[in-house]
Amino acid sequence: MSEKVRKTIIAGNWKMNKLRNEAQELATAIVAGTKGRDNLPDILLCPPFTSLDIVVQTAKDSAIQVGAQNVEYHDAGAFTGEVSPPMLIDAGVTHVIIGHSERRQFFGETNQTVPLKVKAALAHKLTPIVCVGELLDERENDLTDPVVKRQVGAALNGLTEDEVKSVILAYEPVWAIGTGQVCESKEAARVVGLIRKTLTQFFQQDKDGPDMVPILYGGSMNAKNAEELLAQDEIDGGLIGGASLKADEFLEIVNHACKRPRLSAAKA
Ligand code: PEP
């Protein structure tokens, strides 16, 4: 019987911030702050497209991986302004955020386009970080659970069990993103637990499958509230926006993640 361990992941979503020299400076400080340390969580930096190469270069020979914030689902062709999975792989990227609420809100991302992007990313061995979460209005009308279940169901529709196991999910209540209004830790853990239950529909063969998918929390996580959020067994890490733009604060969150016991989530 071998033990399978679910990863702890700390991912920084830099959104549309940092010029190339600033991105290099931030990545350099994070690399320096994590160098030579044991028992780190998986650390991921997601700069804008224009800084992907410089961050990949800066993180070379470190434990830090680099993700993009969006991807197109076609490989190539007449899609002006878009960036494809092979292009991201070519740039040294390993992960990509898909379905972030800002993309759903401002750039027409939907429950129809998200699964196409997830499939395309997986086909090229990019790890998708799929964001789901309810709007304030939906929470106030007791629609959190159905909205989140629908988003998860749509995003993973048609994937094989192995493909679902290659996805990272992030519960990001939209009202908590960039607002300073963090979701209460027990409630965040409850919704993450609900997402994990929702995953059972994708696993006919491997009953341990749902326990192997990392599920992060995102929404105003910072150095002050990270400890309590990361102390929740259900929550496997954080997707961090604003607080990932300062090396010291991001590294403090990494430190809180280091204290988190690695979960023995599934046995095989
Ligand atoms: C995000 O952009 O995914 C996010 C969680 O942002 P913030 O931490 O700023 O709320």
Taking CA atoms only, the protein residue closest to ligand 1 atom 8 is 241
Cβ neighbour number for residue 106 with a 10 Å cutoff? 9
pLDDT interval class at 120 (50, 70, 90): very high
Q: Does residue 151 line the site of ligand 1, with CB under 6 A?
A: no
Ligand 1 centroid vs 253 CA: distance in angstroms? 14
Query: Would you call 25 a catalytic residue per the annotation?
Result: no
Query: Would you call 256 a catalytic residue per the annotation?
Result: no
pLDDT for 262: 60
Interval 138-194: pLDDT, tens: 999 999 999 999 999 999 999 999 999 999 999 999 999 999 999 999 999 999 999
Tokens of 220: 């105003």
Taking CA atoms only, the protein residue closest to ligand 1 atom 3 is 241
Q: Does residue 13 line the site of ligand 1, with CB under 6 A?
A: yes
pLDDT for 263: 42
CATH superfamily ID and name for 9-258: Aldolase class I (3.20.20.70)
Report residue 18 CA to chain centroid gap: 20
Round to whole Å and give the CA distance between 255 and 83: 33
Q: What is the pTM of this model?
A: 0.95
Interval 49-87: pLDDT, tens: 999 999 999 999 999 999 999 999 999 999 999 999 999
In the chain, where the domains are located: 9-258
Q: Is 178 helix (H, G, I), strand (E, B) or coil?
A: coil
Residue 203 pLDDT > 60: yes
Question: Residue type at 18?
Answer: K
Give the pLDDT mean for 109-114: 97
- Comparing CA positions, the residue from 110, 118, 131 lying closest to residue 13 is 131
